[in-house]
Amino acid sequence: MALVLPATTWIEPGARHRAGAEAVALGRARALLVTDAFMVQSGVAAEIRAGLEEAGLAVALFDGVEPDPTDAAVDEGRAALVAHEADVVIGLGGGSALDAAKTIAVRGGNPGPMRQYMGYQQLVGAGLPVIAIPTTAGTGAEATRVVVVTDTSTDTKMMLLDDRLCPTVALVDVELSATMPRPLTAHVGVDTLTHGIEAYVSAKATEETDPLALACVRRCGEHLRAAWEDGDLEARAGMARAAYEGGAAFANASVCLVHGMSRPLGAVFHVPHGLSNAVLLPTVTAFSLEGAPERYAEVARALGLVAGDESVAAAGDALIAGLEDLNRRLEVPRLRDLPGVTRERFDAALPKMAQDALASGSPDRNPVVPTAEQIEELYRRAW
Ligand SMILES: [Fe+2]
């Protein structure tokens, strides 16, 4: 059993300032900085760029990443990489920017339609090293060998998992997530919790991933509400660490049904990743509970919802109630409240969403492996 993780990880306030030194330590001289328009406006991209240049690197900027990166955006970034003759990619931003950076870095060795590389370990060529600097405490993309990229020809989200997609360096800097708006803190925070839970109950969980998964869950129990309520830096730092641990756990143990069902919601209705997971977590957990009651009970204990001597059945009930309560407190909306998701469009999309969820492979790792009909029913319950 191998655990695939970044070769170097820094988790500390100010970690972003290490980007230049880390790139130089890797023997690199020409960096492509991959980010989004918001990071440019806020001045963070300029700060990172200046740090890289100070370390002696020649830097080009690609800021064309939008939420839910597409294959087209990746190829645009790839063109910028080739034009600059970059030998290292710096990813700066939320999960979308980091996924784009990771994919751009391997695109040279893996040409042609991206669809052929979908799934597990399908890449054929190596890529450039990536230094990942997350700005949202959530996706854990800085720690994972997973990317999700939208296939514009079919309107589906492709998941690619490959060792060569794992960043070489992760710089987790709480100062960057300190200004996250409240709804984003809630959505990516519940996404982080979902990573911990799904990695722990996954059929692919191992002795190596369990401690990471439980540490993530425990930290979410300690810090998520405080990070949301008053955004204090200690709670935010706890969530940044939880995001890294959750990413490290699920990239090696897999995610399950929540993520399997969340990707089609994102692809069809453009619901951001964190939010689409958050709305599904309580419903899907209630469905999956009977497949791994002991494991879910451990999750309830790690969240501090029950004492250690509480029965497994009571812990399971407390978990479902606790997850529903968490969503209410963090003001996570129901599916029906999301802009653009009408009941008519939702019902019409159900069969395709269920098929796409199954095709992703994630539901196979779930404690209860659902049929397409059951997935449709779960979407309806989350409405
Ligand atoms: Fe996620």
CATH code where residue 349 lies: 1.20.1090.10
- Going from the Cα of 1 to the center of ligand 1, the distance in angstroms, rounded, reads 23
Predicted structure pTM score: 0.94
**Is residue 68 a part of any domain in this protein?**
yes
Structure confidence at residue 1 (pLDDT): 60
Question: Cα dist. 350→152, 231, 335, 345 in Å?
Answer: 19, 37, 13, 9
Domain CATH for 154: 3.40.50.1970
- Going from the Cα of 83 to the center of ligand 1, the distance in angstroms, rounded, reads 32
Q: Which of 144, 176, 208 delimits the end of a domain? A: 176
Structure confidence at residue 137 (pLDDT): 79
Task: Read off the tokens for 213.
Answer: 């998964």
**Is residue 329 a part of any domain in this protein?**
yes
Structure confidence at residue 339 (pLDDT): 84
Q: Which of 176, 201, 223 delimits the end of a domain? A: 176
Do 61 and 45 contact (CB within 8 A), yes or no? yes
Number of domains in the chain: 2
Q: How many CB atoms lie within 10 A of CB 92?
A: 30
**Side chain identity, residue 201:** V
Q: Kindly list the protein residues that place their beta carbon closer than 5 angstroms to ligand 1, a single-atom ion.
A: 191
- For 278-304, b/e burial (b = at least 16 CB within 10 A) is bbbbbbbbbbbbebbeebbbbbbbbbe
CA–CA dist 195, 262 (Å, integer): 13
- Going from the Cα of 191 to the center of ligand 1, the distance in angstroms, rounded, reads 5
Q: Are residues 172 and 186 in the same domain?
A: no
**Is residue 376 a part of any domain in this protein?**
yes
- Going from the Cα of 341 to the center of ligand 1, the distance in angstroms, rounded, reads 21
**Is residue 2 a part of any domain in this protein?**
no
**Is residue 277 a part of any domain in this protein?**
yes
Q: Are residues 167 and 120 in the same domain?
A: yes
Task: Read off the tokens for 151.
Answer: 């296939």
- Going from the Cα of 342 to the center of ligand 1, the distance in angstroms, rounded, reads 24
- Going from the Cα of 192 to the center of ligand 1, the distance in angstroms, rounded, reads 7
Match 């839970």 to its residue by tokens: 197
Q: Are residues 110 and 39 in the same domain?
A: yes
Cα dihedral across residues 199, 253, 286, 281: positive or negative = positive
- Going from the Cα of 273 to the center of ligand 1, the distance in angstroms, rounded, reads 6
- Going from the Cα of 50 to the center of ligand 1, the distance in angstroms, rounded, reads 31
- Going from the Cα of 278 to the center of ligand 1, the distance in angstroms, rounded, reads 9
**Is residue 3 a part of any domain in this protein?**
no
Q: Are residues 313 and 358 in the same domain?
A: yes
- Going from the Cα of 274 to the center of ligand 1, the distance in angstroms, rounded, reads 6
- Going from the Cα of 255 to the center of ligand 1, the distance in angstroms, rounded, reads 8
Structure confidence at residue 360 (pLDDT): 85
H helices of the chain, in order, are 19-25, 37-41, 44-54, 71-84, 95-107, 174-177, 182-201, 209-229, 233-253, 257-269, 273-288, 293-302, 312-329, 343-359, 372-382
With a CB cutoff of 8 Å and minimum separation 6, the contacts of 363 are 256, 257, 260, 261, 357, 369, 370, 375
Q: Are residues 104 and 194 in the same domain?
A: no
- Going from the Cα of 195 to the center of ligand 1, the distance in angstroms, rounded, reads 6
Task: For residue 109, give its domain range.
Answer: 8-176
- Going from the Cα of 29 to the center of ligand 1, the distance in angstroms, rounded, reads 33
CA–CA dist 120, 159 (Å, integer): 8
- Going from the Cα of 202 to the center of ligand 1, the distance in angstroms, rounded, reads 14
**Is residue 170 a part of any domain in this protein?**
yes
Helix, strand, or coil here: 327? helix
CA–CA dist 274, 293 (Å, integer): 25
Do 319 and 285 contact (CB within 8 A), yes or no? yes
- Going from the Cα of 60 to the center of ligand 1, the distance in angstroms, rounded, reads 29
Tell me which residue of 18, 27, 235, 255 sits closest to 141, measured CA to CA.
Answer: 255
- Going from the Cα of 139 to the center of ligand 1, the distance in angstroms, rounded, reads 5
Q: Are residues 150 and 191 in the same domain?
A: no
Q: Are residues 164 and 239 in the same domain?
A: no
- Going from the Cα of 170 to the center of ligand 1, the distance in angstroms, rounded, reads 17
**Is residue 85 a part of any domain in this protein?**
yes
Task: Read off the tokens for 43.
Answer: 């001045």
Mean pLDDT by 10 residues, the chain (383 residues): 91 97 98 97 97 98 94 97 98 96 97 93 96 91 94 89 97 92 94 98 97 98 95 93 96 95 91 93 98 98 95 98 98 91 95 94 96 98 95
Structure confidence at residue 148 (pLDDT): 92
Q: Which of 176, 193, 208 delimits the end of a domain? A: 176
Helix, strand, or coil here: 340? coil
Q: Are residues 124 and 263 in the same domain?
A: no
- Going from the Cα of 113 to the center of ligand 1, the distance in angstroms, rounded, reads 25
**Side chain identity, residue 290:** E
Q: Are residues 20 and 71 in the same domain?
A: yes
Q: Are residues 193 and 51 in the same domain?
A: no
Q: Are residues 150 and 95 in the same domain?
A: yes
CA–CA dist 43, 53 (Å, integer): 15
- Going from the Cα of 57 to the center of ligand 1, the distance in angstroms, rounded, reads 33
Q: Are residues 159 and 204 in the same domain?
A: no
- For 129-144, b/e burial (b = at least 16 CB within 10 A) is bbbbbbbbbbbbbbbb
Do 136 and 272 contact (CB within 8 A), yes or no? no
Structure confidence at residue 267 (pLDDT): 85
